[in-house]
Amino acid sequence: MDDDGLVASEFATVRVSLDTQGNSPRLRLEDLRSGAVRFLDALELESIVWAPEGFLRELLDPSRHRWRDDGSAGGGP
Amino acid sequence: MTTTTDLRSRVEPDRVHGSLYTDPAIYAQELERIWYTTWVYVGHTSEIPQPNDYVRKNIGPQQVVLTRDRTGAIHVLHNRCSHRGNLVCDADRGNSSSFRCPYHGWTFANTGELLGFPFNQGYGGAQAKERLAGLGAAPRVESYRGFVFASLAAEGPTLREHLGAAAERIDQLCRLSPEGEVELTAGWVRHEVTANWKMLVENETDGYHPQFVHSSIFSISGSGIGALYSDKSTAVTRALGGGHSENDLSPEFRKLGVPMGWAGTPEARIPDYAAAMRAAYGKETGDEIMINGSPHVMIFPNLFIAEIQLFVIQPLAVDRTVQHVTAIQFAGAPDLNRRLVTQCVGSVGPAGMLLADDAEMYERNQRGVAQRQPEWLDLSRGLQRERTDERGFTVGTATDETSMRAMWAHYLTLMDPA
């Protein structure tokens, strides 16, 4: 992560920042390629830390959420 | 297609035929029988120090990705999407647990496993992952002291068998670090020449050319290295087996008896390094290592360790070759490393004087060898005075063509195993 909170590779570009607008701080994640934004609170972050490796592998399947063609809700922030 | 019978008639003990450098059919055969069969140097573990680091590398014209997965295991993957064959990775380096092809979004773990693809109903659902291919992987990947090699053949000699005595030269290099490790972290310069790859391999341990081709840099820098490549020198050219060879200048460095004399660097300029070496190995051994110097060894077919810099040879066509060059860095030696980078910029950097000399010779040589007469290149220098040393290696004087003759003999065993 650089000083501007940019986490980037050739595959994705996400800006990470701390958001303090709420009653507790949250992490703000912005996908700079689409503009989509998601907030993660402390408990959600802790849950990710403790999630098994397979959890992230499932998220990385493009058809899992973002690019679905089975008629179900694709999810998203 | 050239037959192997043709090849045997083109390589003789003291001469080789010019077509070996110019015939596209022979080049195609070399890719299959040498580059896609034997162990080829790919990269160094210090280039992918963290879990999920990756760098783009090559095995001849094949583009590969050297990865370290989350468990630390190292993989050499073909940079080719299993869907439509697009290049998956474009950046020279990065950190990512997975790679997503930019064409249709097929996504792979950095182990090569297919993780998924968009709109999977077109394939019958997510379970299609089980039947669809992941990224291709080199069937054999092994490392020696951080130097990662791959073989695209499923079976064959082990890496240690392939390296043979050349492994000792890697040991010699690593011992120059107080921590016993080399780090290839200085960045790479890419030199492309219009020449056949074997001209480069032969030149790397050709001790006959430096006094002529490199006389300008030797005179400007005041280096005494050039004089070591003469018939009066106690330095030798040694065939190490397996097509590997070296110019062993250490007898001269031992005569000189000065720590770091081989590098032309007075100890006063690198006091921290000298102290660290003596602390790590003891005074006597530390001094011996610093006096003995760094290897000058060509590890067939593509790794050339030239004292302070490292070259990786990459053929792209019968008359097109790239040398990837970096300054060698030693773990625990920051003051020495700074000097090595500076020295390498002067010798092999974009405006460096050493590699530019060689590049000119490579390209002239490629043009010259395409001329019709005489058809053969002479390899006889020193044949009459070659000897076998105490370990059974063939040795010539510093300027003899011992290494070239040995390389061609090994070449035939790969190109025509019968």
In this complex, how many residue pairs, one in chain A and one in chain B, have their CB atoms less than 8 Å apart? 57
Mean pLDDT of all residues in B148-168? 98
| B108 and B207 in a common domain | no
In this predicted model, what pLDDT tens digit does every residue of B15-49 receive, in sequence order?
999 999 999 999 999 999 999 999 999 999 999 99
- B119 vs A: CB within 8 A: yes
CB within 8 Å: A63 and B119: yes
Same domain? For B212 and B336 the reply is yes
Whether residue B172 is found in the same domain as residue B120: no
Rounded to the nearest angstrom, the minimum Cα separation between B222 and chain A is 44
- Residues of A in Cβ contact (< 8 Å) with B100: 11-12, 62
**Which pLDDT score, from 0 to 100, does residue A39 have?**
97
- Would you call B121 and A62 a contact, using CB atoms and an 8 Å cutoff? no
pLDDT of residue B59: 98
Which sequence spans correspond to the domains of chain A?
6-59
Q: Is B122 on the interface with A (CB under 8 A)?
A: yes
Given this model, what pLDDT does residue A37 score?
Answer: 97
Tally of domains in chain B: 2
Whether pLDDT at B230 is above 90: no
Look at residue B152 and tell me if it is in a domain. no
Minimum Cα–Cα distance from A68: chain B residue: B119
pLDDT band at A73 (very low <50, low <70, confident <90, very high): low
B89/A69 CB distance under 8 A:
no
Nearest Cβ partner for A69 among B106, B116, B119: B119
Q: How far is CA B39 from the centre of its chain?
A: 11
Minimum mean pLDDT range among B173-177, B209-213, B280-284, B367-371: B209-213
Residue B418 pLDDT: 73
Say if B126 is an interface residue toward chain A (CB within 8 Å).
yes
Q: What is the pLDDT of residues B363-411, one digit of tens each?
A: 999 999 999 999 999 999 999 999 999 999 999 999 999 999 999 999 9
pTM confidence score: 0.95
User: B187 and B139, same structural domain?
Assistant: no
- Claim to verify: residue B330 and residue B206 sit in the same structural domain: yes
Q: Which domain range does residue B111 map to?
A: 41-144
Percent of chain A with pLDDT over 70: 91
CB contact under 8 A, B118 and A62: yes
Do residue B127 and residue B211 come from a single domain?
no
Residues B81 and B174 in one domain: no
pLDDT value for A52: 93
CA distance A6 to chain B (A): 14
Q: Which long-range contacts (CB under 8 A, 24 or more apart) does B52-57 make?
A: B52/B95, B52/B96, B52/B97, B52/B110, B53/B93, B53/B94, B53/B95, B54/B89, B54/B93, B54/B94, B54/B95, B54/B96, B54/B99, B54/B110, B55/B92, B55/B93, B56/B89, B56/B91, B56/B92, B56/B93
pLDDT tens digits, residue range B161-181? 999 999 999 999 999 999 999
Residues of B in contact with A56 (CB under 8 A): 97
